[in-house]
Amino acid sequence: MIIQKSANPRISNFDLENFSFGNTFIDHMFICEYEDGKWGEPKIMPYGPIGFSPAMMGVNYGQACFEGMKAYKDENDDVFLFRPEKNFSRINKSTSRLAMPEIPKDIFMEGLKTLIDLDRDWIPKGEGMSLYIRPVIFATEEVLKARISNKYMFAIVATPAKSYYAEPVSVKISDHYSRAANGGVGFAKAAGNYAASFYPTKLANEEGFEQVIWTDDIAHEYFEESGTMNVFVRINDTIYTPKTSDKILDGVTRDSFIKLAEKRGIEVVIGDVRVKDVVEAFDNGTLKEVWGVGTAVVTSVFKSLGYQDRLLTLPVLSDEESFALSLKKDLTDIQTNKAEDPFGWRFKVERKILEKA
Amino acid sequence: MIIQKSANPRISNFDLENFSFGNTFIDHMFICEYEDGKWGEPKIMPYGPIGFSPAMMGVNYGQACFEGMKAYKDENDDVFLFRPEKNFSRINKSTSRLAMPEIPKDIFMEGLKTLIDLDRDWIPKGEGMSLYIRPVIFATEEVLKARISNKYMFAIVATPAKSYYAEPVSVKISDHYSRAANGGVGFAKAAGNYAASFYPTKLANEEGFEQVIWTDDIAHEYFEESGTMNVFVRINDTIYTPKTSDKILDGVTRDSFIKLAEKRGIEVVIGDVRVKDVVEAFDNGTLKEVWGVGTAVVTSVFKSLGYQDRLLTLPVLSDEESFALSLKKDLTDIQTNKAEDPFGWRFKVERKILEKA
C-alpha cells in the first residue's frame, strides 16, 4: 500500500467538541482503482478532489454503492470498529447485484484499518460520538454506452459524527410511493435507492413527518423499511421486524438488535409486518413502540405514525421501559467498550502507523 | 455564457469514417453549476476532467439523471436536432422525481445549440451517422448525509455515433428480475435504473439473449420496456405498446413511432401488453414483429423471444413488410432532412459561433 501523508493536516484546526456532521473529512482517504479486470495498488492519500469528466459512468448509469460504518474511541483512546466483516460481505452483495467487481477482503480491511489508524486523532470521544466511515465504489469509465463499466474506484472517506435525530420523530406510512421492486435492488446499498427516496420524503416532510415508512409497491400492506433504516415494531412485549429479502437491506444494526433482544429474553418475530396489524394493535392499546435502526443514527424512536388520514400517537415510555432505548444502550455500550462483548463484535484498530512515526 | 475554446482541438486527428461509439468526446463540453438555490454562469470549455472527491453525493446517493439525443448532418452540412424540447421537458420530469433543481429552458437550449454549433465538425455524415448528445445532471455536494444535495452540475457532453445493434437480436422476457416499482422512478432517466438492469442483462446474455424484456414486478404478466428501450408488438397489422406510467419511460422515439404509424394509417393500441397475449399470438401465427425503440439505436428488431423454457422465433420480414423498419426509415428520413417534416420535429442548429470566428 502506498501511503502519501498530508503535508497540511487540518486536524489541529478542527474542534472535536463542536462540529457539524458529514461535511468535514479526515485528513486522508483510501483509494484503489480497478481496470483491465484487476485491482491496482491501494493508496492512502490526502482527502481531496480527483479528476472525473461528466461522462463518468458512475453518474450516468448509477453503478455505485456504499457502506456505512463507525469507529469508536474508548476512555483509554483505544479505537474500535464494529462488525466490519459484515460491511465487507455486504458491499460485495451490493456490487454483485450492480454487476460491479468484487472488492477483495484484504483491500477492504487493510485500507480500513490503515486509514483509521492513521487518522485516529480525528475520532471524537464521549456519548454518541464516533467517526462515520464511508466505503464507496463507483464506475469511473468515461463512455456513453449503457453497459457494465470496465473501470471503478473503491474509496474510503470518513467524517467525525455525533448522534443525530435525538428527538423522537413522526413518520408517515407510505400509501403511494415505494423504494423497492420485487426482483430489484432494494436489498443493496445502491446509490440510486437513496435518490429515489428523497422526493417522497420531501413530500412527507411538507406534511409534517420526518421520515417515510416504506411499504410494498403492490398494495402498501407490509412494512419494509423506514427512511434509510430497518424498522422494528413492539406489540405488547414482542418485537416484530420484516424478514430480509431482495427488497430489504440486511442491516448490521438490525441484526445486532435482534441478537441483543434475544439475549435479554425478548421474543423477536421475523416475518411479514402488516400495516393492518400495527394499526389494529394501536387501536387496542397493545402497540408500544415503533423505531428505526441503522448505523448512522443507531436508533430513531417514533412518536407518531401517519396512516392515511390518521395520526397514531405512540405512548411515551421511560428509557428503562423502552425496548428501543434499552437495546440501543446495550449496543452502544458494546460499541464503545463500556460493556462486555459476548458476541465478539468489537474489532480493535491496532496502532501501527503512529508507532513507526 | 462563457466560451473557453480548446487550445488543442482533437478533431483533426479523429477519423469520422471509422470510429467506435461512445468513448471519443467532442472537443468541448457545456457545464453549469447550481449552488445556494440558483444556477451559475453557463460555460463551454474543453472536454476533460473536473475535480470531485469520492464523497460526491452523486455517486453516494445517486441523485443523477440524463437525456439522450442526437444531432444529424444533412447533405448540405446543415445540422439538425430532433425534438429537443421533448428532452428538455423530460429531464425536468426526472429531476423533479429525484428532488433535484429544475434546469431552466434557456440554459438547456442555449447550452445545447452553442455546443453543437461550436463542434459541428465532429458530426459524421451519412447512413446511420449522428452525434450522440448527453445532457446529464448530478449532485456534487461533498457530504455524507442521505439527504437532498445543495449543489449540482448540469453538463452536456457528446460523442460521434453510428447505428449499432444492426442485426436482429434475441431477447428474454423477464420472469424474475424487474426494473421498476409502482410508486418508484422507472419513468425517469435516473442513473440508478440503468445500473439495476445490468446484472439481469448479464444473466440473460449468458443464456444467449442480447436484451431483457422487462415485465411488471408483481407477476411478470405485462411488458414494460426492453433493454433501455420502449417496446412495440405487432399482431396481424395492429401495433401494441404499453402506456406510459410511473414505471415506463415516455420515450421520444416511442412517441414519434406512434405518430408515424398513425400517419401511415396503421392502428396503434396503447395499453396493457400482456405476455400471455403475445405468446398466444405467436402460437396462432398472428405475431408478426416485436421491436424496441430508443434514441441510441432508433430500432432494435427482435428475431426471437425467450419465454420460460420456450424460444419464440419470429417471422423474417422484408424491409417493406416490416412495420419496425418502415417506421424507422420514416423517422430517420425526417431526422436527416431527407424527407418532409410535417410534424415540425427537426430543429436546425444555426451557424453562429463559426461566423464570428
Provide the residue-wise pLDDT of chain B in tens; the chain has 357 residues: 999 999 999 999 999 888 888 899 999 999 999 999 999 999 999 999 999 999 999 999 999 999 999 999 999 999 999 999 999 999 999 999 999 999 999 999 999 999 999 999 999 998 889 999 999 999 999 999 999 999 999 999 999 998 755 689 999 999 999 999 999 999 999 999 999 999 999 999 999 999 999 999 999 999 999 999 999 999 999 999 999 999 999 999 999 999 999 999 999 999 999 999 999 999 999 999 999 999 988 999 999 999 999 999 999 999 999 999 999 999 999 999 999 999 999 999 999 875 554
Q: Which CATH class is domain B2-162?
A: alpha beta
Grid cell listed for B333 = 428520413
Between chains, do B191 and A193 touch, taking CB under 8 Å as contact?
no
Query: What is the Cα–Cα distance from B195 to B192, expressed in whole angstroms?
Result: 5
Mutate to test the interface with A, among B34, B141, B153, B198 (most CBs of A within 10 A): B198
Reduced 3-state DSSP string for B60-120: HCCCEEECCEEEEECCCCCEEEECHHHHHHHHHHHHHHCCCCCCCHHHHHHHHHHHHHHCH
Q: Which of A53, A60, A136 to mutate to test the interface with B (most CBs of B within 10 A)?
A: A60
Consecutive H or E run containing A260 = helix A252-263
Distances (CA, A) of A10 to A19, A112, A329, B51, B325: 14, 20, 33, 20, 62
Residues of chain A with C-beta less than 8 angstroms from the C-beta of B138: 54, 59
User: So what's the pLDDT on residue B357?
Assistant: 47
Q: What is the structure's pLDDT at B356?
A: 52
Q: Which residue of A has its CA nearest to B214?
A: A183
pLDDT mean over A18-42 = 95
Strand pairing report for A169-173 and A130-139: unpaired
Is the model's pLDDT at A355 over the cut of 60?
no
What integer is the mean pLDDT of A91-112? Answer: 98
Distance from CA of B104 to the nearest CA of A (A): 19
The per-residue pLDDT of chain A, averaged, comes to 96
- Contact state of B53 with A51 under an 8 Å Cβ cutoff: no
Mean pLDDT of the region A113-122? 98
Q: Are strands B130-139 and B69-73 parallel, antiparallel or unpaired?
A: antiparallel
CA dihedral A180, A183, B200, A148 (to 10 degrees): 20
Q: Do residue A198 and residue B23 have CB atoms under 8 angstroms apart?
A: no
Per-residue confidence at A21, pLDDT binned at 50, 70, 90? confident
- CA–CA min distance A88, chain B (Å): 17
CB A26 within 8 A of CB A158: yes
CB contact under 8 A, B99 and A58: no
Give the per-residue pLDDT at B21.
85
Helix (H, G, I), strand (E, B) or coil at A109: helix
State the Cα–Cα distance between residues A245 and A224, nearest whole angstrom: 10
Total length of chain A: 357
Mean pLDDT throughout A117-131? 94
Enter the CATH code of domain B169-335.
3.20.10.10
Would you state the pLDDT for residue B353?
A: 73
Interhelix angle B191-206/A191-206, rounded to 10 degrees, is 140
Mean pLDDT of A238-243: 98
Cell numbers of B151, please? 449543489
So where are chain A's domains? Answer: 2-162, 169-335
Cross-strand bridge partners of residue A31: A43, A155
Q: d(Cα A186, Cα A242) in Å, to the nearest integer? A: 13
* Residues of chain A contacting residue B139, judged by C-beta atoms under 8 Å apart: 195
| Percent of chain A predicted with pLDDT > 90 | 93
What is the average pLDDT across A157-165? 83
* Separation between Cα atoms, residue B185 and residue A232, nearest integer Å: 26
Q: Which helix or strand (DSSP H or E) is residue A327 part of?
A: helix A323-335
- N-terminal to C-terminal alpha carbon distance within chain B: 16
What is the rounded CA–CA span in Å between residue B210 and residue B164?
Answer: 13
- The answer to whether A269 faces chain B, any CB pair under 8 Å, is no
B245 shares contact with chain A (CB less than 8 Å):
no
The mean per-residue pLDDT over the stretch A275-282 comes to 98
Closest CA to B55 of A151, A294, A54, A158: A158
Residue A294 has pLDDT above 70, yes or no: yes
Q: What is the DSSP string of B222-233?
A: BEEEETTBEEEE
How far is the C-alpha of B153 from the C-alpha of B58, rounded, in Å?
10
Q: Alpha helices, DSSP H only, in chain B?
A: 57-60, 84-97, 105-118, 191-206, 252-263, 275-283, 323-335, 353-356
Most distant pair of Cα atoms in chain B: their distance: 64
